[in-house]
Amino acid sequence: MPAENRARVLRAASRSFLRHGYHTSVDEIARRAGVAKQTLYHHFPSKDQLFKEVACDLAKRVLVGLEAEPADVRSGLLRFGLAYRRRVLCAEGLAMFRTLTAEVPRFKALAKAIYAGVPARWCAACRPICARR
């Protein structure tokens, strides 16, 4: 049951943060998740921690990976670019961008971690593929 409650809190927090930004209330998140506020704080010691976890999860879901060894550099990068555009420009991708951008001043380390975690890895993955050209 604890893992199920944690997952419900994360789903409710994702929806609330995407809809209302960081200013959504913990009471509202707990209500949407169908748990007591105490249960929410059992899994996440602060609203900041909950927001960080949701932001990292959203970034992983919205952003895409690059194929390890595409046969053709051009087609591999093109497939990557099209998949990236579909995910980033969908409703969830745009909501994530708006939510995270608004909170960068408050969560500078989080923004750096998300960048280091996903886009920086893409650049590293592209280098050897482009170098083969």
What are 21-48's pLDDT values in tens digits?
A: 889 999 999 999 999 999 999 999 999 9
Fold of 2-131: Tetracycline Repressor; domain 2 (1.10.357)
- CB proximity list for 107: less than 8 A, separation 6 or greater: 48, 51, 52, 55
What are 48-87's pLDDT values in tens digits?
A: 999 989 988 877 776 665 555 666 777 777 877 888 788 8
- % of the chain surpassing 70 pLDDT: 83
Per-domain residue ranges for the chain?
A: 2-131
**Nearest residue to 118 via CA among 55, 72, 49, 25:** 55
Question: Do 57 and 14 meet the contact criterion of CB atoms below 8 Å apart?
Answer: yes
- State the chain's mean pLDDT as an integer: 82
What are 108-131's pLDDT values in tens digits?
A: 887 777 767 666 766 776 777 677
